[in-house]
Structure 1
Amino acid sequence: MLAVTVFLCLPATTTFAQPYERPAESLEELRIDIAWYGAACLLRGEVEETMDGPVTRESLAEETGVDLDLITGWIEARAPENSIAVDVLLRGGEPLRDPPEPFLTILRQRQADCQNLIRSRRVLEAAIDRGALPERSASSAPTPLRAELDPHPFDAERRQRLERAILSVEDVLAAGDYADDIEALLRAIAGRPDLMLGDLRGIDDPDGARRIATGLLLPNPQHVTDLSVAEVQDVITRLEAAPQGPFAAYYAGLVMSNLEVLGQGTPYSGERIEGSDIFVFRNENSTLTCRPIDGSVAIICDPAD
């Protein structure tokens, strides 16, 4: 039987191709790592000096084969949060000796990204020398689920930065310091200009912060109502493979929003219980009931009685 944990999922920003959380399975994925970390190290500067010499967005594109516009998109998505942290660091005229969280995490992340650029190059060199990885992997090939909806290339480090910012909200509100900066940082990391500090009150445990952060970085499944039969089949397969995984409720939400597709060549059929917000979808082996929480886009699914 399937079981899905409570999960918050709000409207998402543009999804970019990016490194996978799992180990790279091809040389192509290792080159994406280099471009990704290089963009994060460079940010809005024209050039960044590294142990391997100067880096520009153009040199990254030439080195890795990753499209220049994609690299520029990564830079523009990441740069605002770093700018906020730098402003906090330097606001008093002299750099703070002990920058508060989550700004310290943001500043350290860029340093780590520059180091990861160098590390990723060495990993690629070693992989080429060993000859153990193909140029492209089967798992990086297109899947039925369209790229902008696929959560697999998920920016785990961005989620970690967002988690840290979410966990700081209560302390910031209590102290009365940096409230505007934290709110701006939350919006920059999540890519949501309407996000408010008050939306994230009362979250004081890492597991809760991770669920919320993951949900904030994924598309809203209630806004996706045009999945094909193949996409629904793919989503259900993923849901069944990892029913307690970080994307489980997102997958359930996609299926709930596309109940009319079920039964049209999928192994499932689905229905909405009349007069309620409860959804049911089932096959010959299992039945799952799902419902929104408090009228939000948080979803909980349980096996039916």
Structure 2
Amino acid sequence: MYAGPGRKPQLLKQLEGYVHKELQIISSSEPQFQEQRLQVYQDAFGCFIKEFKTYQPLLSAIKREYENTLAYQQDQIRELEPLRSHLRLVTEECERKVQARWEEERSEIRALKTEKHQLQRVIEAMKEKETATQAVVERLQSDLSAQYLQYREQRDARQLLIWQINDLTRGSVEEEHPADGNSDARDPVQLQLSLKVCRRDLTTAQEELTRMKAEYWDVVPRRNWDALEQTHQQNLSKMQTLQSDFDQLKREHDILLELHKEGSMQNKTNEPSTQQKDESVSQEQNQVESDHLSDLIDSESPEKSTLTVQEFR
């Protein structure tokens, strides 16, 4: 049973030969190929246990435990086999459902896209229709306004015609019955129409007055402006005339002063009588100048008073 170093035991050779022989007999195409291979190894292990009497109980217990575990696992596999087939069927069914659902969703998406494009076209058509309808409504509103104005004018004309007819009828009745006591009564239609016209004229006048006050509150009337402009031109011309007269008088006064200085320098050595004579001449000249200025002032005083009155106005 036991071999020396470098050699296999006889039992090992027999067991290996048995295993090799049995495995060659088993075909891999058989349905229970794995179970048959396991059975070969179990038989070889049983022969191995029989040869070792001392370890036989322990090895038998180990073999039995392995066999029980394998049997339990095989039972579990047999129980799970229908579940695996059912799972495969369920998986295939779910895949088919998912594929069908995906096809339905894609068809729905295509249908929704088509419907979206159709709705967009419908919306654009409705917008165009709304624009056309709005234009028609505006045109009808303008036509209605014009027709309303025409009807109102016709109503006013009809009322005026009725009033004229009533007036003519009343005139003929008064001619036929001059002693009638109700001759002073007036037509109610005429009164209403007159009142309406008066109210409309009053409203127009008030609006015009308000507008004029708002636009021309800081504007001077034209006639006042023309009067002020004319007064200003008159005052300006008078001032220019007075300025020229004043300049002329100033020049004459300067000349007289120069003459007086020259005469006084020439006659410094003359007699006192001559000085008195010169003084009298100078006084006479001054008197003449003062009289001339007084005459000018007196001649200009009416114009100044007129200017003052105009400015006051």
TM-score bracket for the superposition, by shorter chain length:
under 0.3
Which structure carries more relative contact order (alpha carbon 8 Å, separation 6+)?
A: 1
**Whose strand proportion is higher, 1 or 2?**
1
Instruction: Pick the structure with greater CA Rg.
Output: 2
TM-score normalised to the size of structure 2? 0.16
Q: Which has the higher helix share?
A: 2
The normalised TM-score by structure 1 is 0.16
